[in-house]
C-alpha cells in the first residue's frame, strides 16, 4: 500500500506567511503569521513550528519564498563581472543594460559556426585583474552561445587554469535565444547564488536537526517545484504569484478556464488558467531593471492590496503603493481597503468603529456622515476593482496577441468561453461584489482564501521542459533548458529516433534534478530540411517534451 | 527611435516543395538572428500576431479564376492578412512604421490570378494598399519595390490607377526573371507616368542603388506627395543571392530603407537564406526602428567586382532620357460592343512559371479625365481554353465609368466561365459563374 502522503506548503509573502499541512489532500493544520522581512529563514522555521510538523511523518515541504526577489529588488547583490562576446549585429547600446560589462573579441553565427576567433591577448590582460581579485564572480556570455558554447567554455577553462578560485557562470546554461536576457540571467543567477545557498543549507539543517526526514522543495516562477539543492536560485523569483495560481487550481474542477486574483497585503497578483493549464509567459521574467530568461507564468502584479495605505488627494483619495501597518480597524496607523471592507460589513474581523474612524480621516469634517462614508468605502473598493480589471484585460490581451509562426496555429486559434474569476488572499471576501460588478463575470471564492497560496505550494507538481534543437548537418544538438550541447551521431534525416533521443535526454535530466515526470507530453516536432544547391544535406529539428505546471492532487474538503 | 511594428510570420509548416527556395527553412535563421539579438524587445518595437485576409479583401484587388474557392490559399491569405494587421496598426497611429516579415511573397501576382507565379499567388502589398484606401480613405500611395526582380504583378494591378505611384528598381529584365520592367512601361492612359521602372545592370552595388534613390526616386516621391509609402522589400539584391548579381550589402539595405523611409515594408523575395536574410532583415528593421545598423555585418565580403560608378551614372542618365522619350504602347479604339467612350486596348500574355500556365489577356481601359477609368480584363487560360472577365470600377469612379462598369457586368455574365465585378468605389464584390450564379463576396 502507498504510504499516507503528508505535505506541507509555505508561502512567504511580503506581509504574511501562509502555511498548511495536508494529509491526503485534506487540510489538517493551517497558519498565517507575520513575515519578518529581515529573517525569512526564521519565518519559515516559525511556520513549521506552528504547523507542528515535527509530530508528523511529513514527506515533503514546499517553500515559496521572496528571498531572491527581495535581494534583487533591494539591490543587495555582490559585484559580478560580465564578460561578453557580442560579435556584430545590433548595437549593444540599443538595449538598456542595468549592469556594466566588458566586450571581448570572437564571434559565432546563428548556427554556432565560428566567424572570428577570440583574442588570447585580451584574455591574458583579464588575468591581471583576476590575480588581484582571485575570488571574483565572473559571468561569461556569448551571442549564439546557446548554439555553440565554444568561446564561453574556452575562456572559462583559461581563467580557471590561472585563477582556480574564480566563481564562474556561463551563459549557454540558459539555452534559449536572446543574448541580452541570457547575459542578465547568468549575471543574476551568479549574483544570488551565495544568498540562496546559505538559506538552503540553514533550512535543511534546521529541519534535519528537528528530526524530520521531509524532502524540501522550492517553488519556481513557472509553478513547478525542484529539490532545494537542485534549484538555480534566480528561478525562485515570483514564486508567490505562482503559488496563488496553483492554489486556485488545487481548489477548482479540472479543465476549467478562469482568472485568478490573489489579493495580498500590498500586492494583488493576477494570473490566468486556460482549460486547466496556467498560462505561461512567452517571455522570461522581468525583475527590477533586469529582463531574464527565467520561465514564468504570465502574471500581472498591482501594487495595491488589503493593507495598502489610503491617502487623501485633492477632493478624493489615492491608494498608495505601500503599507504602513495593519488596517486601521485592526489597530494600524492609516485607513486601508480592509477598513472599507469592514465598514461595509464585507468581512467579519476588525473593529467597525475603528474602520469608520479611519475612513472619516479621508473626508472633510462636514462630510463625515453615514452616506458619505458609505460612498467612500464603495469608491475605494471600486478603484481597487478597476485596477484589477485593467490587469485582467491586459493579461487576456497577452494570450490573444501571442505571435504565431505556423499556418496551423493561425487556423486554430485558442478560444475560451465561460471565464470566471477566482479570488483568494486575505482581502478576497471583501472584493467579490466589486469585481463582479466591474467585470460582469461570476466571481468565486474558495473555502480557504487566506492560505490559498500555501495550498498551491503544497500541491504543486514538478514542471518539466526539455527542448531539443538538433542540427544534423552540423552533427550537433542542444537542450535549451540546461544548456547541454553535444554531438549527434544519428542519421541526417532522422524521424522516429529523434523522439527516442529526446526522451532519453529528458529522463536523464529528470533523474539529475531529482524529480519524477508525470504524464510528459511530446510536442509535435518541427522539421526544417536544410538545402544546399537543390540537395537536402540535413535537417534542423526542434521539439520538446514537457510537463506543464499543475497540481498533484486537488484539495478535499 | 521610431515606434515600429513587426509582424513575423515565417510559415514554418509551409513550403512549395522540399528543396524549393520558398521552403520552411527560409526565415529560420532570420528568426534565430532576431530572437538572439532581442530585436522584439527594443522599447519602441511592438510585435503583432498574424491575421487571415478574407476572400473579399483579396477580390477587391485581384480576380481569382476560375473561382475564388481555391485550395492551398491559406498560407497566402495569412501573408496578406498579416500585412493588413500591420497596416491597421499604422493607420490607427499605434506605430510610425512597420515591417511585415512574412512569407509567401506576392509581387509577381497580378490583377488576374490563374495560379502561382514567381512563388506568388496573392499580392500582399496590393491587398494591403486597397484595404487602407477602402477603410481609411487614404488617397495617394507610393510603392517602391526594391526586390531584384521586376514586381510585374504589382505593376499590373496598379497600371491604370493614377493614385498609386509604382516604382521598381530591379536587375534588367534581359538578364533576369520575369523579363519585364523596361523604362517604356510607364502606366496606362489614365495613369501615365505613375509607373516608373528602373532596370539596372548587374553589379550596381550599394553606391549605385543609393545614387539612383537620391537622384531619381526620392525627387519623384517628393513630387508625387504620397500619403503612404510602401516598400516591397525583396532581399535578392544581396551579393550572395543565388539568382541575381546586384552586389548590395546588408548595410546597403539599411541605407536603402533609411532613404525611402517607408511607412510599411513588406518582405518579398530573397533566397540567400543563410548568407543574406538574417543580416538584411536585421538591417532593414533596425533602420525602420531608427536604430544603429552600422554593426550589422554578414560573414562574407562582396567579391564580384563592382560596376564602375562613373559608368553607372552615365547609364542612369541614358535611362532617364529613354524614360522621358518613351511612347504609349496602347491603341485607342471605339468599340461597338463596349459602353460609350474611348477605350485603350492592351493585349498581352502572362506566364505562370510555377505551374506552366499561359494566360492570354486583353485589357481595355476607358479613357477618362474624371477618374481612374473602368477597366475590363478578358483573360483566357491557354491550355484549358476557359475564358474569364474582370470588370473593375475604380476608387472614386465618376458616374459615367460606374455606369460603364455596371453595363459590362450585365453584359458579360453568362458569356464566360466566370466573371468578377470589382467595384472598388463602393467596396462591392460580385462573382458570377455557371455553377453558382451570382454571389456577393
Q: Are residues B314 and B356 in the same domain?
A: no
> What mean pLDDT value characterizes chain A?
93
Cα dist from A472 to A84, A111, A527, whole Å: 28, 11, 11
Q: Are residues B46 and B183 in the same domain?
A: yes
Q: A399: nearest CA in chain B?
A: B49
Cβ–Cβ < 8 Å for B162, B194: yes
- A402 to chain B, any CB pair closer than 8 A? The answer is yes
pLDDT of residue B304: 64
Q: A286: nearest CA in chain B?
A: B41
- A115 to chain B, any CB pair closer than 8 A? The answer is yes
Q: A111: nearest CA in chain B?
A: B29
For B112, residues 6+ apart whose C-beta sits below 8 A from its C-beta are B62, B63, B65, B350, B359, B361, B377, B379, B388, B390
Task: Indicate the SS3 state at residue A211.
Answer: coil
Strands (E), A120-178: 137-142, 167-170
- A473 to chain B, any CB pair closer than 8 A? The answer is no
Of B181, B168, B185, B78, nearest to B122 by C-alpha is: B78
- A105 to chain B, any CB pair closer than 8 A? The answer is no
Which of B304, B325, B346 is the C-terminal boundary of a domain? Answer: B325
For B67, residues 6+ apart whose C-beta sits below 8 A from its C-beta are B418, B431, B433
pLDDT of residue A422: 94
CB contact under 8 A, A529 and B74: no
How many C-beta atoms lie closer than 10 Å to residue A5's C-beta? 15
Which of B325, B346, B364 is the C-terminal boundary of a domain? Answer: B325
Q: Are residues A319 and A427 in the same domain?
A: yes
Report the distance separating Cα B225 and Cα B251, nearest Å: 27
Supply the CATH number for residue B203's domain.
3.40.800.20
Catalytic site residue from B20, B76, B93, B108: B108
Strands (E), B238-382: 264-267, 331-333, 343-352, 357-366, 375-381
Is residue A301 situated within a structural domain?
Answer: no
**Residues 267-286 in B contacting A (C-alpha not used; CB under 8 Å):** 274, 278, 282, 286
Of A386, A387, A384, A390, nearest to A344 by C-alpha is: A384
Cβ–Cβ < 8 Å for B268, B257: no
CB contact under 8 A, A178 and B297: no
CB contact under 8 A, B47 and A403: yes
> What mean pLDDT value characterizes chain B?
95
pLDDT of residue A265: 85
Q: Are residues B192 and B79 in the same domain?
A: yes
The average pLDDT across A492-506 equals 92
| Overall residue count recorded for chain B in this entry | 441
Q: B10: nearest CA in chain A?
A: A405
Task: Indicate the SS3 state at residue A275.
Answer: coil
For A314, residues 6+ apart whose C-beta sits below 8 A from its C-beta are none
Report the distance separating Cα A16 and Cα A240, nearest Å: 11
Q: Are residues A98 and A165 in the same domain?
A: yes
B-chain residues near A147 (CB < 8 A): 32
B40 versus A15: the higher-pLDDT residue is B40
Is residue A345 situated within a structural domain?
Answer: yes
CB contact under 8 A, B25 and A115: no
* Distance between B335 CA and the closest CA of chain A, angstroms: 47
- Interface contacts A/B by beta carbons within 8 Å: 124
Q: Residue A294 pLDDT more than 50?
A: yes
B-chain residues near A143 (CB < 8 A): 36-37
Residue A381 host element (H or E): helix A370-400
Q: Residue B268 pLDDT more than 50?
A: yes
B210 part of the active site: no
Lowest mean pLDDT among A74-88, A103-117, A441-455, B277-291: A441-455
Q: How many domains does chain B have?
A: 2
Which of A422, A448, A474 is the C-terminal boundary of a domain? Answer: A448
Q: Which of A144, A177, A410 sits opposite B78 (nearest CB)?
A: A410
Selected for mutation to probe chain A from B19, B23, B36 (highest A CB count within 10 Å) is B36
CB contact under 8 A, B291 and A526: no
Question: Beta strand B357-366 with B343-352: parallel, antiparallel or unpaired?
Answer: antiparallel
Report the distance separating Cα B59 and Cα B63, nearest Å: 6
Q: Are residues B68 and B116 in the same domain?
A: yes
Query: Which residues face B388 on adjacent strands?
Result: B379, B418
The average pLDDT across B41-48 equals 96
CB contact under 8 A, A110 and B42: no
Report the distance separating Cα A51 and Cα A30, nearest Å: 6
First to last CA, chain A: 23
How many C-beta atoms lie closer than 10 Å to residue B355's C-beta? 9
Q: Are residues B204 and B291 in the same domain?
A: yes
Q: A183: nearest CA in chain B?
A: B36
Strands (E), B14-150: 45-47, 63-64, 97-102, 112-113, 141-145
pLDDT band at A149 (very low <50, low <70, confident <90, very high): very high
Lowest mean pLDDT among A350-354, A409-413, B103-107, B350-354: A409-413
Query: Which residues face A22 on adjacent strands?
Result: A7, A27
Is residue A294 situated within a structural domain?
Answer: no
Report the distance separating Cα A141 and Cα A44, nearest Å: 35
Report the distance separating Cα B169 and Cα B216, nearest Å: 11
Q: Are residues A469 and A399 in the same domain?
A: no
Q: Are residues B259 and B186 in the same domain?
A: yes
- A474 to chain B, any CB pair closer than 8 A? The answer is no
- B52 to chain A, any CB pair closer than 8 A? The answer is yes
CB contact under 8 A, B52 and A410: yes
Q: Are residues A166 and A122 in the same domain?
A: yes
- A208 to chain B, any CB pair closer than 8 A? The answer is no
Selected for mutation to probe chain A from B1, B5, B27, B37 (highest A CB count within 10 Å) is B37
Half-sphere exposure of A418 (CA within 13 A, CB side): 4
Task: Indicate the SS3 state at residue A469.
Answer: strand
Strands (E), A257-331: 258-263, 268-274, 277-278, 286-287, 290-291, 299-302, 308-313, 316-323
CB contact under 8 A, B24 and A528: yes
Q: Which of A144, A400, A407 sits opposite B75 (nearest CB)?
A: A407
Which of A394, A418, A448 is the C-terminal boundary of a domain? Answer: A448
pLDDT of residue A1: 42
* Distance between B282 CA and the closest CA of chain A, angstroms: 8
pLDDT of residue A376: 95
Give this complex's ipTM. 0.93
- B355 to chain A, any CB pair closer than 8 A? The answer is no
Range of the domain at B223: 4-325
pLDDT in tens, A418-477: 789 999 988 888 899 999 999 899 999 988 888 999 999 999 999 999 999 999 999 999
Q: Residue B27 pLDDT more than 80?
A: yes
Q: How many domains does chain A have?
A: 3
pLDDT in tens, A544-556: 999 999 999 999 8
Report the distance separating Cα B291 and Cα B262, nearest Å: 15
Which of B325, B358, B385 is the C-terminal boundary of a domain? Answer: B325
pLDDT of residue A110: 97
pLDDT in tens, B52-105: 999 999 999 999 999 998 878 999 999 999 999 999 999 999 999 999 999 999
A-chain residues near B28 (CB < 8 A): 528, 540
Which of A134, A164, A195 is the C-terminal boundary of a domain? Answer: A195
Q: B102: nearest CA in chain A?
A: A405
Q: Are residues A504 and A433 in the same domain?
A: no
Range of the domain at A532: 464-547
Cβ–Cβ < 8 Å for B375, B363: yes
Is residue A222 situated within a structural domain?
Answer: no
CB contact under 8 A, A91 and B297: no
- A74 to chain B, any CB pair closer than 8 A? The answer is no
How many C-beta atoms lie closer than 10 Å to residue A79's C-beta? 10
Q: Residue A519 pLDDT more than 90?
A: no
Task: Indicate the SS3 state at residue B403.
Answer: helix
Q: Residue A342 pLDDT more than 70?
A: yes
Decide: residue A113, CB within 10 A, 0-12 exposed, 13-18 middle, 19+ buried. Answer: middle
**Peptide bond connecting A111 to the previous residue in cis, omega within 30 degrees of 0:** no
Of A14, A476, A521, nearest to A269 by C-alpha is: A14
pLDDT band at B305 (very low <50, low <70, confident <90, very high): low
B-chain residues near A94 (CB < 8 A): 42, 286, 291-292
Lowest mean pLDDT among A300-314, B296-310, B365-379: B296-310
- B295 to chain A, any CB pair closer than 8 A? The answer is yes
* Distance between A283 CA and the closest CA of chain B, angstroms: 10
Diameter of chain B measured on Cα atoms: 65
* Distance between B142 CA and the closest CA of chain A, angstroms: 29
pLDDT in tens, A15-54: 889 999 999 999 999 999 999 988 999 999 999 999 998 8
Cβ–Cβ < 8 Å for B192, B184: no
Q: Are residues B248 and B349 in the same domain?
A: no
CB contact under 8 A, B32 and A90: no
Q: Are residues B315 and B338 in the same domain?
A: no
Is residue A278 situated within a structural domain?
Answer: no
Report the distance separating Cα B305 and Cα B302, nearest Å: 8
CB contact under 8 A, B14 and A410: no
Is residue A29 situated within a structural domain?
Answer: no
Q: Are residues B128 and B254 in the same domain?
A: yes
For B54, residues 6+ apart whose C-beta sits below 8 A from its C-beta are none
Q: B286: nearest CA in chain A?
A: A90
The average pLDDT across A245-272 equals 92
Q: Are residues B303 and B428 in the same domain?
A: no
Is residue A280 situated within a structural domain?
Answer: no
DSSP 8-class letter at B263: S
pLDDT in tens, A522-540: 988 999 999 987 788 999 9
Q: Are residues B338 and B264 in the same domain?
A: no
Q: A182: nearest CA in chain B?
A: B36
pLDDT of residue A41: 93
Of B195, B214, B86, nearest to B150 by C-alpha is: B195
Residue A123 host element (H or E): helix A120-132
Q: Are residues B362 and B310 in the same domain?
A: no
Is residue A315 situated within a structural domain?
Answer: yes
Q: Are residues A416 and A328 in the same domain?
A: yes
Of B367, B358, B357, B374, nearest to B409 by C-alpha is: B374
Amino acid at each position: 500500500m502507498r504510504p499516507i502522503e503528508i505535505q506541507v506548503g509555505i508561502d512567504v509573502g511580503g506581509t504574511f506567511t501562509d502555511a498548511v499541512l495536508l494529509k491526503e489532500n485534506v487540510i489538517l493544520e493551517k497558519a498565517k503569521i507575520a513575515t519578518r522581512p529581515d529573517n525569512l529563514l526564521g519565518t519559515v522555521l516559525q511556520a513549521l513550528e506552528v504547523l507542528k510538523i515535527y509530530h508528523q511523518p511529513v514527506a515533503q515541504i514546499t517553500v515559496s519564498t521572496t528571498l531572491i526577489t527581495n535581494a534583487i529588488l533591494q539591490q543587495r547583490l555582490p559585484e559580478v563581472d560580465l564578460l561578453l562576446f557580442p560579435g556584430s549585429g545590433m548595437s549593444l547600446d540599443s538595449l538598456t543594460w542595468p549592469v556594466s560589462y566588458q566586450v571581448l573579441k570572437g564571434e559565432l553565427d546563428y548556427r554556432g559556426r565560428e566567424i572570428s576567433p577570440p583574442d588570447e591577448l585580451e584574455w591574458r590582460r583579464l588575468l591581471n585583474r583576476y590575480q588581484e581579485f582571485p575570488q571574483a564572480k565572473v559571468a561569461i556570455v556569448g551571442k549564439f552561445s546557446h548554439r555553440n558554447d565554444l568561446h564561453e567554455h574556452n575562456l572559462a577553462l583559461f581563467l580557471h587554469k590561472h585563477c582556480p578560485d574564480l566563481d564562474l557562470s556561463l551563459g549557454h546554461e540558459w539555452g534559449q535565444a536572446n543574448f541580452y536576457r541570457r547575459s542578465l540571467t547568468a549575471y543574476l543567477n551568479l549574483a544570488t547564488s551565495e544568498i540562496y545557498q546559505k538559506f538552503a543549507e540553514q533550512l535543511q539543517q534546521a529541519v534535519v536537526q528537528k528530526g524530520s526526514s521531509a524532502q524540501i522543495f522550492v517553488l519556481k516562477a513557472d509553478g513547478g517545484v525542484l529539490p532545494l539543492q537542485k534549484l538555480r536560485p534566480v528561478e525562485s523569483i515570483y514564486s508567490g504569484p505562482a503559488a496563488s495560481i496553483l492554489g486556485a487550481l488545487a481548489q477548482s474542477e479540472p479543465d476549467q478556464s478562469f482568472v485568478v486574483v490573489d489579493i495580498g497585503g500590498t500586492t494583488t497578483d493576477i494570473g490566468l488558467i486556460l482549460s486547466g493549464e496556467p498560462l505561461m509567459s512567452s517571455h522570461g521574467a522581468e525583475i527590477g531593471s533586469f529582463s531574464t530568461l527565467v520561465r514564468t507564468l504570465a502574471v500581472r502584479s498591482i501594487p495595491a492590496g488589503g493593507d495598502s495605505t489610503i491617502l487623501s488627494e485633492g477632493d478624493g483619495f489615492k491608494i498608495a503603493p505601500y503599507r504602513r501597518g495593519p488596517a486601521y480597524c485592526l489597530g494600524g496607523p492609516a485607513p486601508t481597503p480592509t477598513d472599507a471592507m469592514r465598514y461595509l460589513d464585507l468581512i467579519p474581523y476588525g473593529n467597525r468603529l475603528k474602520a469608520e474612524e479611519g475612513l472619516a480621516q479621508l473626508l472633510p469634517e462636514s462630510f463625515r456622515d453615514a452616506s458619505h462614508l458609505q460612498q467612500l468605502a464603495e469608491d475605494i473598493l471600486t478603484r481597487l476593482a478597476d485596477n484589477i480589471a485593467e490587469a485582467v484585460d491586459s493579461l487576456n490581451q497577452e494570450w490573444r496577441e501571442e505571435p504565431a509562426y505556423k499556418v496551423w496555429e493561425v487556423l486554430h486559434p485558442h478560444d475560451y468561453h465561460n471565464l470566471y474569476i477566482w479570488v483568494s488572499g486575505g482581502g478576497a471576501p471583501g472584493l467579490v461584489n466589486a469585481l463582479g460588478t466591474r467585470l460582469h463575470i461570476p466571481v468565486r471564492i474558495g473555502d480557504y482564501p487566506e492560505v490559498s497560496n500555501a495550498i498551491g505550494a503544497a500541491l504543486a507538481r514538478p514542471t518539466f521542459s526539455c527542448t531539443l534543437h538538433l542540427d544534423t548537418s552540423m552533427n550537433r544538438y542542444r537542450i535549451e533548458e540546461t544548456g547541454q550541447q553535444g554531438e549527434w551521431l544519428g542519421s541526417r534525416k532522422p524521424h522516429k529516433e529523434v523522439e527516442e533521443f529526446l526522451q532519453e535526454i529528458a529522463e536523464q535530466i529528470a533523474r539529475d534534478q531529482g524529480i519524477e515526470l508525470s504524464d510528459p507530453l511530446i510536442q509535435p516536432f518541427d522539421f526544417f530540411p536544410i538545402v544546399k544547391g537543390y540537395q537536402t544535406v540535413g535537417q534542423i529539428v526542434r521539439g520538446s517534451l514537457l510537463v506543464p505546471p499543475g497540481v498533484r492532487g486537488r484539495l478535499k474538503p | 527611435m521610431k515606434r515600429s511594428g513587426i509582424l513575423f510570420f515565417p510559415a514554418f509548416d509551409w513550403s512549395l516543395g522540399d528543396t524549393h527556395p520558398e521552403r520552411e527553412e527560409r526565415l529560420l535563421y532570420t528568426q534565430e538572428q532576431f530572437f538572439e539579438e532581442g530585436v522584439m524587445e527594443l522599447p519602441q518595437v511592438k510585435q503583432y500576431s498574424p491575421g487571415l485576409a478574407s476572400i473579399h479583401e483579396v477580390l477587391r484587388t485581384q480576380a481569382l479564376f476560375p473561382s475564388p474557392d481555391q485550395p492551398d490559399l491559406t498560407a497566402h491569405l495569412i501573408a496578406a492578412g498579416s500585412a493588413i494587421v500591420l497596416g491597421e496598426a499604422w493607420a490607427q497611429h499605434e506605430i510610425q512604421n512597420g515591417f511585415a516579415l512574412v512569407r509567401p511573397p506576392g509581387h509577381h501576382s497580378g490583377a488576374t490570378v490563374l495560379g502561382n507565379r514567381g512563388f506568388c499567388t496573392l499580392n500582399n502589398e496590393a491587398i494591403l494598399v486597397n484595404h487602407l484606401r477602402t477603410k481609411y480613405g487614404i488617397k495617394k500611395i507610393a510603392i517602391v519595390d526594391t526586390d531584384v526582380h521586376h514586381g510585374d504583378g504589382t505593376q499590373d494591378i496598379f497600371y491604370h490607377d493614377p493614385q498609386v505611384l509604382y516604382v521598381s528598381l530591379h536587375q534588367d529584365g534581359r538578364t533576369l526573371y520575369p523579363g519585364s520592367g523596361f523604362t517604356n512601361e510607364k502606366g496606362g492612359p489614365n495613369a501615365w507616368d505613375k509607373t516608373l521602372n528602373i532596370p539596372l545592370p548587374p553589379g550596381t552595388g550599394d553606391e549605385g542603388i543609393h545614387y539612383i534613390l537620391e537622384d531619381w526616386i526620392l525627387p519623384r516621391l517628393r513630387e508625387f506627395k504620397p500619403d503612404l509609402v510602401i516598400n516591397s522589400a525583396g532581399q535578392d539584391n544581396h551579393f550572395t543571392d543565388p539568382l541575381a548579381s546586384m552586389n548590395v550589402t546588408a548595410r546597403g539595405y539599411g541605407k536603402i530603407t533609411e532613404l525611402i523611409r517607408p511607412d510599411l515594408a513588406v518582405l518579398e523575395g530573397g533566397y540567400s537564406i543563410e548568407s543574406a536574410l538574417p543580416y538584411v532583415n536585421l538591417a532593414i528593421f533596425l533602420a525602420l526602428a531608427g536604430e544603429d545598423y552600422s554593426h550589422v555585418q554578414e560573414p562574407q565580403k562582396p567579391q564580384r567586382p563592382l560596376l564602375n560608378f562613373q559608368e553607372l551614372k552615365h547609364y542612369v542618365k541614358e535611362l532617364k532620357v529613354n524614360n522621358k522619350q518613351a511612347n504609349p504602347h496602347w491603341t485607342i479604339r471605339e468599340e461597338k460592343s463596349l459602353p460609350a467612350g474611348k477605350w485603350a486596348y492592351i493585349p498581352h500574355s502572362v506566364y505562370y512559371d510555377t505551374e506552366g500556365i499561359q494566360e492570354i489577356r486583353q485589357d481595355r481601359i476607358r479613357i477618362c479625365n474624371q477618374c481612374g477609368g473602368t477597366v475590363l480584363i478578358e483573360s483566357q487560360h491557354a491550355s484549358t481554353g476557359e475564358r474569364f472577365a474582370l470588370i473593375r470600377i475604380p476608387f472614386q469612379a465618376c458616374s459615367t465609368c460606374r455606369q460603364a462598369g455596371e453595363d459590362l457586368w450585365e453584359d458579360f455574365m453568362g458569356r464566360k466561365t466566370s466573371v468578377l465585378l470589382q467595384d472598388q468605389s463602393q467596396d462591392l464584390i460580385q462573382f458570377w459563374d455557371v455553377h453558382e450564379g451570382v454571389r456577393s463576396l
